[in-house]
Amino acid sequence: MNATTINAPAGTPFVEVIREFDATPAQLFRVSTDPDLVAQWLGPRGLEMTVETYDVRSGGSYRYIHRDESGEYAFRGVFHSVEQDQCVIQTFEWEGAPGEVCLEKATYEATETGVRLHQRSVFPSVETRDAFVQSGMEIGINDSMDRLAELVAKESGS
């Protein structure tokens, strides 16, 4: 299984995530944008997820809720630009910290062996980014990327 690389340089307002998958850009894009499939991989293991809306198109929006024994965690945003099998630019906001909206860009780049997912999240401030990093985001990102790889393999029949 491929490793996930997470870059969060000190003093910067961004987090970068890179992962290679054994799939085509079209396969990874589909699993990343189909609401029924997103509910199967997004977020840490052990959380239940409900997708209220996930309208992946330029101008579309999304809202989903993660639940565990401690409570509910709702997230929402708007899809600003969607290029089929290539790129998604969206906003991301945890409803527990209203107004702390980050801008996210995900690109799907074909490689010789599959596809490279490159995500970059830009936060409104270094402090907001640091709070995100300290919240345990690394566990959630790694779990999500591993679950995404498992689902892509299942969906592509590998």
Helices in 80-156 by DSSP H: which ranges? 126-134, 137-156
- Rounded to an integer, what is the distance from CA 15 to the centroid of its chain? 12
Domain 25-153: CATH superfamily is START domain (3.30.530.20)
> In tens digits, what is the pLDDT along the chain, a chain of 158 residues?
689 999 999 999 999 999 999 999 999 999 999 999 999 999 988 899 999 999 999 999 999 999 999 999 999 999 999 999 999 999 999 999 899 999 999 999 999 999 999 999 999 999 999 988 888 888 999 999 999 999 999 987 76
CA 67, CA 17: separation in Å to the nearest integer? 24
Please say whether the beta carbons of 133 and 20 come within 8 A: no
What local confidence, expressed as pLDDT, does residue 1 receive? 65
